[in-house]
């Protein structure tokens, strides 16, 4: 874990700022992102706006203001700002100095996610927003959710990069028996330029608790596959498949399989806190809303188990920031991610320094 002076964020990339349902009914959402105060709101046009949550006059939060059309008015002295952040009205003053305004941030709305670009707005290409097909595929159902972690986002990335902890941290929720940790190995770790891909099988196993809750035969053995895909700066996709044991799923026979798709988005709030967005989708019994609810509850329960450990790690690093950690074989994926992230961060710093 790096010290404060060494830590930083990738600026020129898209981060999830909110689920769109967080902005219904005129909500002005105050959210700190990359240590910057931001206000998000949906204007009369239906567009989502994001700007600095701090009036340029006396520093009052614009999240305490009033939405007017697509604009927002500070309710301290009444200054009104358009979606670009420019001040367009000062009550009792006809001349508006050109310098009066607040920073606005590019926004992309897609698949019920609100993405924000905190870096150079000239580089904010909507085509760079990651597409996750199950979020807009009618063959999948899920329930969007949010959690807040009192921990650095890279500790959450480390946790998600490591399937070995499932059987120990999540024995009664997401994992199953300790056999999963002792007897399975990653079949393939692909070290990619933007992250990694890991595949893991567990044959002829008992179904884990979360899966057992939503299937009719709760004792039948299953062949289980997980495929994890982690992308910089902190986006995780997980494919999970459960097929009847011996049905040939490993050779491509998925006729009787039940499958899940899990998307998770980690957005740094500060160096020590994180916004965590996720959705756990399934492709069976789509007319039964209780399945999505059960899966969401199960995953939240599992994440709370992770959260307890991860936040305890953060408290340790707060006390002893120079702690040195030792690696084991299971750390191969997370070590690669940390390396790729560090390279991206250095390259961005060098580019900014060169431009300056």
Residue 1: in which H helix or E strand, if any?
A: none
Q: pLDDT band for position 327 (50/70/90)?
A: confident
Q: What is the pLDDT of residues 261-291, one digit of tens each?
A: 999 999 999 999 999 999 999 999 999 999 9
SS3 assignment, position 170: coil
Average pLDDT, the chain: 91
pLDDT at 166: 66
pLDDT at 6 over 50: no
Query: CA 56, CA 58: separation in Å to the nearest integer?
Result: 6
Token pair 């909110």 is found at 18
Average confidence (pLDDT) over 159-173: 74
More confident residue, 355 or 342: 342
pLDDT band at 215 (very low <50, low <70, confident <90, very high): confident
Asked if the domains at 14-127 and 133-348 fall in one CATH topology, the answer is: no
Question: What pTM does this model have?
Answer: 0.92
Give the residue, 298 or 105, on which the prediction is more confident.
Answer: 105
Band of pLDDT at residue 184, cut at 50, 70 and 90: low
The pLDDT value given to residue 328: 85
> Is residue 165 scored above 90 in pLDDT?
no
Architecture of domain 133-348: Alpha-Beta Complex (3.90)
pLDDT at 208: 86
CATH assignment, 14-127: 2.102.10.10
Q: What is the pLDDT of residue 180?
A: 61
Confidence grade of residue 47 (pLDDT, cut at 50, 70, 90): very high
- The predicted structure's pLDDT at residue 205: 87
User: What's residue 210's pLDDT?
Assistant: 87
The predicted model gives 76-105 an average pLDDT of 96
* Per-residue model confidence (pLDDT) at position 7: 46
Q: For residue 183, is pLDDT > 90?
A: no
The pLDDT > 90 percentage for the chain reads 75
Distance in angstroms (rounded) separating the CA atoms of residues 328 and 336: 13
- The mean pLDDT of 241-265, rounded to a whole number, is 94
Which ranges in the chain belong to alpha helices (H)? 153-160, 166-169, 179-183, 209-212, 289-319, 332-355
CB 275 within 8 A of CB 9: no
Average confidence (pLDDT) over 79-95: 96
What's the mean pLDDT in 76-88?
Answer: 97
State residue 260's pLDDT score. 96
pLDDT band at 177 (very low <50, low <70, confident <90, very high): low
Tell me what the mean pLDDT of segment 103-127 comes to: 97
Angle of helix 289-319 relative to helix 153-160, nearest 10 degrees, comes to 120
Q: 63: pLDDT confidence band, cut at 50, 70 and 90?
A: very high
Name the E strands within the chain: 14-19, 29-33, 36-42, 48-52, 66-68, 71-73, 80-81, 87-89, 107-110, 113-117, 144-149, 186-192, 195-205, 222-231, 235-244, 258-270, 273-282
Contact 15, 118 (CB under 8 A): yes
Contact 114, 107 (CB under 8 A): yes
Q: Is the pLDDT of residue 331 over 90?
A: no
Question: Residue 92 phi/psi, 5° resolution?
Answer: 80, 5
Segment 346-356, tens digit of pLDDT? 999 888 888 87
Q: Where are the domains of the chain?
A: 14-127, 133-348
At residue 2 the predicted structure's pLDDT band, cuts being 50, 70 and 90, is very low
Answer whether residue 8 shows pLDDT above 90.
no
Q: How far is CA 178 from CA 181, 265, 330, in A?
A: 5, 28, 15
For the beta carbon of residue 131, count every other beta carbon within 10 angstroms: 9
């Amino acid at each position: 874990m790096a010290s404060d002076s060494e830590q930083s964020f990738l600026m020129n990339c898209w981060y999830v700022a909110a689920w769109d349902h967080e902005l219904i009914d005129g909500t002005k959402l105050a959210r700190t992102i990359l240590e910057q105060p931001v206000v998000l709101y949906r204007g009369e046009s239906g567009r989502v706006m994001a700007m600095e949550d701090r009036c340029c006059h006396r520093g009052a939060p614009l999240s305490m203001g009033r939405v007017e059309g697509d604009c927002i008015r500070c309710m301290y002295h009444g200054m009104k700002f358009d979606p670009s952040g420019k001040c367009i009205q000062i009550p009792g003053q006809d001349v508006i100095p050109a310098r009066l305004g607040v920073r606005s941030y590019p926004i992309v709305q897609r698949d019920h996610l609100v993405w924000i670009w905190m870096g150079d707005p000239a580089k904010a290409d909507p085509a760079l927003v990651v597409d996750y097909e199950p979020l807009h595929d009618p063959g999948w159902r899920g329930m969007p959710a949010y959690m807040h972690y009192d921990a650095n986002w890279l500790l959450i990335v480390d946790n998600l990069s490591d399937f070995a902890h499932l059987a120990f941290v999540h024995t009664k929720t997401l994992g199953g028996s300790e056999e999963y940790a002792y007897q399975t190995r990653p079949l393939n770790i692909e070290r990619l330029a933007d992250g990694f891909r890991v595949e893991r099988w567990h044959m002829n196993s008992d179904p884990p608790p979360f899966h057992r809750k939503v299937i009719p035969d709760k004792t039948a053995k299953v062949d289980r596959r997980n495929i994890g895909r982690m992308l910089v700066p902190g986006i995780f996709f997980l494919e999970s498949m459960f097929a009847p044991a011996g049905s040939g799923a490993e050779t491509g026979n998925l006729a009787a399989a039940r499958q899940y798709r899990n998307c998770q988005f980690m957005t740094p709030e500060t160096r020590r806190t994180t916004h965590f967005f996720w959705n756990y989708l399934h492709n069976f019994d789509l007319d039964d809303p209780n399945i999505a609810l059960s899966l969401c509850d199960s995953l939240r329960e599992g994440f709370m188990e992770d959260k307890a450990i991860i936040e305890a790690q953060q408290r340790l690093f707060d006390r002893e920031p120079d702690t040195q950690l030792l690696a084991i074989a299971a750390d191969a994926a997370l070590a690669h991610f940390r390396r790729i992230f560090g390279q991206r961060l250095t390259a961005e710093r060098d580019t900014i320094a060169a431009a300056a």
